[in-house]
A and B are shown apart, each in its own frame.
Chain A
């Protein structure tokens, strides 16, 4: 390919706090009767003042910490001034030059690094619906969403293809869910994506002199399509010796294309200035450390741990760590299983293939169920043969067991169970192995 894509991302994630960002109205607006979650503050009535939601700020910081960001000790809110009917105050409270989180980095597969420029806090707007009421075309405003907390995460233009973007987005979604700060449900609009895309000649250093921002993307599939479309479109422009226009475009699913929305000349001047109604936020090192301590084990760390500790395929681990609740469940079951000689692989198999209702079955119960099924269904001679083969073909594992790494036996049990297609009793296999290796 003649050109290398240069892609950066802005992602908005709506937080899952009980109340809104600056008032005590419920933030749970999805599917609710319009304009029932409102008060003077989120309606922008005369005299109303914002009071920041501490939980939301801490969650924004947690999100930043999870993405490897630094948390500056001084931070503040700013007003972003613009007119739109869904913005009742005529400005959005956001963060301009002192965001809560800066300079992070995430690592994708193949050791690809994506730098995080910043993660900051802002408020959502109301929702406009264009409808026909009594024969008239009208615009309806629902303020239930007005003032719901949003975290905006901005990356450096480090992506080189749509696949990297999608991998990053999935990681971001998974991270938000692990932290329990958002459901990050694309369909409900919890997560909104805005890639900016440009092309440079392959091998060229530096950044292109333009960028195209694409809005209105509400699924990972569309982001992939929109980026691919833009790469094609911009290539054609560059091919005839022109430079693509700096502009904002929108993804149009019907036309399978991005369409121009706003050019550089029409760009807003947001007249940012410090929000005088909210004092600046000052952290001390201890508070930042305390918040960091509260972070749960994150998806990538979980993945690596599972790879290291259990003899499971990357495919299995990916499924098990996709949701924090599943990963936690699996770990509890493994720990319960150790007492009953039920292997990690057996547990993984059941969770992945039989899909039991994890909310209704306790981990220990699951282990009991597996154990119950594990009576020997194999002739002893066949089992002995398999045991012999497994020991012979895995000398390193045998050695590490003998060297004192007791957990290595789990790997051997797993391999035997695999070869016997689950017909042997893991308990029995373990007993025999222990004798053979002693």
Chain B
């Protein structure tokens, strides 16, 4: 008997529709594993067992009635606790909202519900998505399934640990500066950070509104494309979503990389840990072998990314967190953790009269230059590959008392958010038993191409088949 919690979404879907397994059995298997592992990993804040089982039974009825199944039917999924879920406690991993139950579903949650997904629970993360390790959660850190002494990355720490450990088949996450890509990379997963405006942010608690995107974490590229097929699209409740039609990301996913021009930005490799560099070099060789044309490129303003990001992000945070005043719902402002307070103070300062021009306005101008770097680069290449994280998954507690070092964990991911463009992370190998990921970055709305490149590389290397020993 196969362990169904090892299945990809693609395989589980097939087994379900061909009636080799019942949705309820699938859900129960994942629930059992989740309950068993959650104490160790702390990946879920809330497990919604009853809701999940009820939904699985509903899917079984659809199958019995030979109804046409929507793409994600019966798939047990974890949802980052930043996504509002009607009637299910949604905490933002903060004590401020420890008992908050939303009155409405976020757009993405209603879309996956319409696709008959089974929501297993709400996953842990750095409170308000502030962090790169999961340690800023007010409900305790999540552990990396590959090494329980190490962080799974963040902020979407629980989503990554849960998918990597087989607690769920896929998970919803967010990505403001790397919160999907870095944990995916730390946990040997595929993670998408879509183009800004491709997936609705409505109902997802805002961190930095001009940078926030909705991410997905899966075992394989195909699985990821399948979820984006469901979630992408214009939303009348989010004025920043694009009216541009959504492509079918699955169709032609195996098209390959032959003739695709792929750039290696030299600024991303200067001073990079040689072990990580050799992983990316090897990956670029693989792509070359598959027919891609590799070249060196330059993104000259790369070094200003972190400084720019950490002006814009706290500024928007200071405004976005103002609503949590404890008057109408939630606890008072004294319940905010240290990192949220730090960002509120930084942002309030940066936006203050007399400082606005020197900080926020200047940062917005640099942001434009960073975007122009990419726009110019994409005149000569179709996509860019780059490392995700400057380090391997680090030890819990190693950086938590040094906010600046923690901020530098985002050095290879934030520029993509500043530019608003999409990036896909795929597993690229292991160093000392710890996963390393690679980013495939493309121009606006190039998700389909990114999936094709990611899929070609994945099918060649099959890193996703390696599982943590847990």
Contacts and interface: CB of A to CB of B under 8 A. Distances in A.
Interface of A: 40, 43-52, 79, 81, 83, 85, 88-91, 141, 269, 271-273, 276-279
Contacts of A40: 103-104, 203
Given A51-B236, A79-B319, A81-B319, A46 B352 contact: no
A271 B352 contact: yes
B328 A46 contact: no
A46 B92 contact: yes
**10 A-B pairs with the lowest CB-CB distances in the bound complex, closest first:** A90-B322, A276-B210, A271-B351, A276-B209, A47-B203, A47-B84, A46-B205, A51-B239, A269-B353, A44-B323
B319 A273 contact: yes
Interface in B290-332: 315-316, 318-319, 321-325, 327-329
B202 interface: yes
A264 to B, nearest CB: 13
A40 B90 CA distance: 15
Given A46-B84, A51-B237, A278-B239, A88 B328 contact: yes
B238 A49 contact: yes
Interface in B260-300: none
A48 B202 CA distance: 6
A47 B351 contact: no
Nearest to A275: B209
A396 B455 CA distance: 92
Contact of A49 (B237, B315, B318): B237
A18 to B, nearest CB: 16
B322 A91 contact: yes
B206 interface: yes
B229 interface: no
B319 A47 contact: no
14 contacts: A40-B104, A45-B329, A46-B90, A46-B92, A46-B97, A47-B202, A47-B204, A47-B205, A49-B237, A49-B239, A49-B240, A85-B327, A90-B319, A273-B356
B239 A52 contact: yes
Interface in B158-208: 201-206, 208
Given A46-B84, A51-B239, 14 more contacts: A40-B103, A45-B103, A45-B329, A46-B92, A46-B100, A46-B102, A46-B323, A48-B202, A48-B203, A83-B322, A90-B321, A90-B322, A273-B356, A276-B208
B210 A47 contact: no
Contacts of B90: 46
B102 A90 contact: no
Contact of B239 (A50, A81, A88): A50
Nearest to B204: A47
Interface residues of B, number: 42
Nearest to B100: A46
Contacts of B136: none
A171 to B, nearest CB: 34
Contacts of A47: 83-84, 102, 106, 201-206
B348 interface: yes
Contacts of B315: 273
Interface in B346-368: 348, 351-353, 356, 360
A96 to B, nearest CB: 10
A166 B202 CA distance: 45
B200 to A, nearest CB: 9
Contacts of A88: 323, 328
A330 to B, nearest CB: 44
Q: Which one of B210, B325, B329 has the greatest number of beta carbons of chain A within 10 Å?
A: B325
Contacts of B322: 81, 83, 89-91
Contacts of A85: 325, 327
Contacts of B201: 47, 49
Interface string B222-243: 0000000000000011111000
B353 A271 contact: yes
Contacts of B239: 49-52, 277-279
Contacts of A43: 328
B419 to A, nearest CB: 15
Contacts of B356: 271-273
Contact of A91 (B97, B204, B319): B319
Contact of B348 (A45, A52, A271, A276): A271
A279 B242 CA distance: 11
A273 B319 CA distance: 9
B313 to A, nearest CB: 11
A255 to B, nearest CB: 32
A49 B348 contact: no
B176 to A, nearest CB: 12
Contacts of B321: 90
A45 B319 CA distance: 14
A85 B328 CA distance: 9
Given A51-B236, A276-B209, A269 B352 contact: yes
B270 to A, nearest CB: 32
Nearest to B351: A271
A58 B93 CA distance: 41
Nearest to B206: A47
Nearest to A81: B319
Given A45-B102, A51-B238, A271 B319 contact: yes
Contacts of A49: 201-202, 237-240
A276 B315 CA distance: 11
Nearest to B239: A51
Interface string B81-102: 0011000001010000100101
Contacts of B202: 47-49
Contacts of B240: 49, 276-279
B62 to A, nearest CB: 29
Contacts of A278: 239-240
Nearest to B106: A47
Q: Which one of A50, A79, A276, A279 has the greatest number of beta carbons of chain B within 10 Å?
A: A276
Interface string B102-122: 111010000000000000000
A79 B102 CA distance: 24
Contacts of A83: 322, 325
Contacts of A89: 322-323
Given A46-B100, A269-B352, A271-B353, A90 B325 contact: yes
Contacts of B104: 40, 45
A369 B377 CA distance: 80
Contacts of A276: 208-210, 240, 316
A19 to B, nearest CB: 13
